[in-house]
Amino acid sequence: MSAIQIQGLRPLKGTVGIQGSKNAVLPMMAASLLADGVTVIRHVPEIEDVFSMMGILESLGCKCSLEKGVLTVDTKAASGHRIPEEYVGKMRSSCLLLGPLLAGRGEAVTYYPGGCVIGKRPIDLHLYALKRLGASFFEAGGMILARADRLRGARIRFSYPSVGATENAILAAVTAEGETEIENCAREPEIVWLCRYLRSMGAEIQGEGTHCIRITGVKELKAGNMQIPPDRIVVGTYLCAAAATRGKITISNPPEGELDAFLEVYGKMGGQYNRRSGKLIADGSGTAFPVPFLETDTYPGFPTDLQSPLMAVLTTIPGKSRIRENIFENRFRIVEELNKMGASVAVSGREASIQGGTCLRGCTVRARELRGGAALLVAALAAQGETVIEGCSFIYRGYEHICEDLASLGAQIEEDTGTAFL
Ligand code: UD1
């Protein structure tokens, strides 16, 4: 059982580099199936979700290797169309392979996807988009069987701008016959990165980053070559850790302008930040003001993935803060653990009310999902005494070397392997 031990109350200070983005790399890995050849992707984080996606690609006949952040995917011998159940249960992004498999093989077999336990997370919007492009779906014995003789461009209008469904629609449409228009699509930076990547492979796409994406299908794509951008959610998590400990840290490779909504809240709490020579310097020593109301939203709103780490910071600020979670209905599971540590957070439906400034005390807590787990790390750094975080495999699904990074910033932190970083 993996666990992390932390002795809190040490202000973080120093400089840290940021891993490649998990949410950007996964759809690009799925896109490798659209070309016949060797895809090369650099600055790839060595995290569980990437390993799972590699496992799926290998089960489909691809040859994959990941060394020192360089991922290669050779699709020359790939011919499979079944996504193995073991990976589907582990990772929701496995359903991103439906689009490329239907485009390339005309069929796909999968199961209902898994991933973080943060809500119902249906895939109806994925299926809707693929059906519009000509796919049919059948359910048999818990499996989803998908077929499409030929994908054809279509008008897709989402009732909600789902990130994953937008990615799936794009992946399926780039080699479909004719024009596709995706309305009310997601505008997240990961969509923009995916479109840039596909364009470098020969796709014809316009409008990414707006509410409407237009695609003209092409006959074939060439294998891709890409550098993954830094992970904006990891940056936000580390800035939360700096704020919770009233520390000051420098991010050596911040993303460009992808964190504005988060930084605005950071400033409101009393944190300061500036960019110098391509670096982001964040001074959390003045963090002192509660946030009367904050709600998560689709991009460019406040990201749901940073809601829990921010909540951990707000428990350290005297006064009342309130958060409304609009994206995932079950993203307050961390509250019980924070309250065990001495926080005072009350949840009513989609809203959490935080009475901050109570003294956080170390104890044993359990991570139950990725971002909630990261938030427990943030709280532990600000708590008196020792905190033991169990269930750390959830944290490693998204954070490549969070313990080493925090240790390099002065945290006293150990993993259960017995390896002391400080
Ligand atoms: C992606 C990110 C995740 C982030 C989320 C929102 C990846 C690998 N994960 O997840 O980190 O928190 O965007 O920014 O990129 N929904 C439906 N039907 C569908 C699809 C989604 O009802 O077919 C609902 C979901 O249950 C959820 C909401 O839409 O309530 C948002 O989901 P979506 O935008 O699809 O998020 P993901 O792509 O799963």
**Chunked in runs of 10, what are the mean pLDDT values of the chain (422 residues)?**
92 98 98 98 97 97 98 97 92 94 96 62 92 95 92 98 98 98 98 98 98 98 98 98 98 96 98 96 98 98 98 98 95 96 98 97 96 98 98 94 97 76 43
Q: How far is the CA of 162 from the centre of ligand 1 (A)?
A: 5
Q: How many CA atoms lie within 13 A of 62 on its CB side?
A: 30
> Does the beta carbon of 164 lie inside 6 Å of ligand 1?
yes
3-state secondary structure of 248: strand
185 is an active site residue: no
Atom 28 of ligand 1 has which residue's CA nearest to it?
327
Q: Is 15 left (phi over 0), alpha (psi -120 to 50) or beta?
A: beta
Contact 366, 2 (CB under 8 A): no
Q: Give the active site residue among 116, 185, 240, 392.
A: 116
> Does the beta carbon of 328 lie inside 6 Å of ligand 1?
yes
**pTM for the full model?**
0.96
Give the pLDDT of residue 419.
Answer: 47
> Does the beta carbon of 90 lie inside 6 Å of ligand 1?
no
Give the pLDDT of residue 15.
Answer: 98
Give the pLDDT of residue 329.
Answer: 87
> Does the beta carbon of 12 lie inside 6 Å of ligand 1?
no
Distance (Å, rounded) from C-alpha 234 to C-alpha 315?
20
> Does the beta carbon of 175 lie inside 6 Å of ligand 1?
no
> Does the beta carbon of 163 lie inside 6 Å of ligand 1?
yes
Contact 345, 338 (CB under 8 A): yes
Distance (Å, rounded) from C-alpha 203 to C-alpha 226?
15
Atom 13 of ligand 1 has which residue's CA nearest to it?
163
Q: What atom in ligand 1 is closest to the CA of residue 304?
A: 12
Q: Which residues of 205-234 are buried (b: 16+ CB within 10 A; e: fewer)?
A: bebbeeeebbbebeeebebbebebbbbbbb
Contact 50, 22 (CB under 8 A): yes
Report angle CA 361, 366, 367 to the nearest 5 degrees: 115
Q: Residue 108 pairs with which residues in a beta bridge?
A: 146
Give the pLDDT of residue 92.
Answer: 86
Residue given tokens 């919770």 in the structure block = 244
**CA torsion through residues 248, 251, 421, 372, sign:** positive
Q: How far is the CA of 125 from the centre of ligand 1 (A)?
A: 10
Atom 17 of ligand 1 has which residue's CA nearest to it?
122
Amino acid at 370: L
**Helices of type H across 147-291:** 163-173, 189-200, 232-244, 260-268
Distance (Å, rounded) from C-alpha 253 to C-alpha 347?
36
Name the DSSP class of 221: B
Task: Round the CA-based radius of gyration of the chain to a whole number and report it.
Answer: 21
